[in-house]
Copies of this chain bind each other. A is one copy, B any other.
Amino acid sequence: MSQSLKNVHAMILAGGSGTRFWPLSRETWPKQMLQIVGEDTLLRQTIKRINGLVSPDHIWIVTTEDKAQDIKFHLEPLGSSAKEIRFIKEPIGRNTAPAIGLAAISLNLHFPESIMVVMPSDHAIPDRDEFLSNLKLAIQGAMKNNLVTFGIKPSRPETGYGYIKIENTSKMGVDGLCKVECFVEKPDLDTAKKYLSDGNYFWNSGIFVWKTSKILSEIQTHLPPLYKTLKEIESLLFDSGKLNKPDKLKKLKKQEKLNNLYFRLDPISIDYGIMERSQNVLMVPATFQWSDLGSWTALDEIIDKDEQGNILKGNMVDIGSHNSIVFSGQRLVATIGLRDMVVVDTPDATLVTSKERVQEVRKIVEILKQSGREEHLLHKTVERPWGNYTVLEKGQGYKIKRVVLNPGAKLSLQLHKKRSEHWVVVAGTARVTKEDETYLVHTNESTYIPIHTKHRLENLGAEPLQIIEVQNGDYVEEDDIERFSDDYDRI
């Protein structure tokens, strides 16, 4: 077994777009980066979970180009192992079949003998040991050239999931794995009830294990156009690898070709594209607790409720609510007599919905997107590798930010063409560079950065540095920035 584990690589799918848990999740801060259940964010929990079996240099994050940087920063609290985790970047999201195909073709270049564990980054699985022991079973099945999936024993007649039907449980496949008879679409309530009592129907967890070579051959069989594109991408990646000295222009052109190829792919899920069509599918009947956290109401399955059936978090006062979920932050939320409701409060947006219509939060996000707003995109507090900033207010000709700089961190050497900045230090000591001058600004002191002036902010202290920044100018957006030197490679 230990010999086989050497070849195991984990592919963590982290391309989620952050609509289902809006307003807590945002386009730039999707669900996997939230700490909804458990002691850490869902993504970091996922990494810690698999890290029990697979070393960090065999862990890959599959995500889109635009999310990769944020996710990289997000992994930093994991310490040194975070640096070993590698990224596979899709130019754009195209559902799971292309993402997994890209991951497989990339892995296959360097590890043709590898076994892939494909895992969503935003599911809740509280029991790591149980998960890993199930996973070992799956790996054994995968080594015998099967596609292995994890089925979750239904606990209710759920109509929101597709089901996996296994052959009669007495006919076990390999070592406790079940042979899959077929995948079935989301059922109506009566059918779901039948599935629940039948015993041979399981929920599809979205976790898969297979040989990299096996999934590529399955793609070749069932999704030939995808396979063709993947082979073209493979040759691009192979060529890039050969360039001894990185030739920037060539690299750029290759990236452009790759983008074009990827953009043209049909978005299709691995379930629909491969799993439903393949003849070699086994299922591990999962013995761990699981939730896909598909919506706010999924919390009911995974978080303990109070005696009235409520889940109440944050700064809130309630009188007489039942079976409701209230998530608030620092602002006060007062609730009276709610029944089967979900209330989620964030600094810039509040959601109030009946539980039965909670899926329609996607429509709200769509409306916000179409009306050119920002509440679906960004939080008021934006986490950065050097700390964070919060937009306290934006008005005509000005913007006010609280900027928190971690100990030892420094912002890029930068200038703004359309605004000046007043900085008031409210905690810690700032080292400020202004053109050729460098000086300290202590708590309760201020400094002024005129327009068109190169400047840099550093925190040499051992405590976080907090400054209040008042920007003045006709245009006070984030993209008015020219960087000259940056610790975080953002030039």
Contact = CB atoms under 8 A, between A and B. Distances in A.
Interface of A: 23, 317, 319-320, 331-339, 341, 343, 345, 348-354, 356-358, 360-361, 363-364, 367-368, 373, 375, 390, 392-393, 395-398, 400, 402, 420, 422, 424, 426-427, 443-444, 446, 448, 466, 468, 470, 472
A336 B354 contact: yes
Contacts of A390: 393
- Please indicate which of the listed interface residues A23, A339, A341, A352 has the most CB atoms of chain B within 10 Å of its own CB: A352
B349 A334 contact: yes
**Integer count of this chain's copies in the complex:** 2
Given A334-B23, A334-B349, A338-B354, A472 B443 contact: yes
B337 A357 contact: yes
Given A319-B364, A332-B373, A420-B444, 6 more contacts: A320-B357, A338-B354, A390-B393, A398-B427, A398-B466, A424-B472
Which secondary structure characterizes the binding site on chain A? strand
A334 B352 contact: yes
Per CB-CB distance, the 6 closest pairs between chain A and chain B, nearest first, are A337-B357, A336-B353, A398-B426, A444-B472, A337-B354, A332-B349
A7 to B, nearest CB: 47
A382 to B, nearest CB: 16
A259 to B, nearest CB: 34
Contacts of A319: 357, 360, 363-364
Contacts of A364: 317, 319, 334, 336
B367 A353 contact: no
Nearest to A23: B334
7 contacts: A319-B357, A319-B360, A319-B364, A338-B354, A341-B352, A424-B472, A443-B472
Contacts of A349: 331-334
Contact of A375 (B332, B402, B448, B466): B332
A331 B347 CA distance: 8
Contact of A348 (B331, B337, B420): B331
Given A331-B350, A350-B332, A353-B335, A397 B426 contact: yes
Nearest to A396: B427
B392 A393 contact: yes
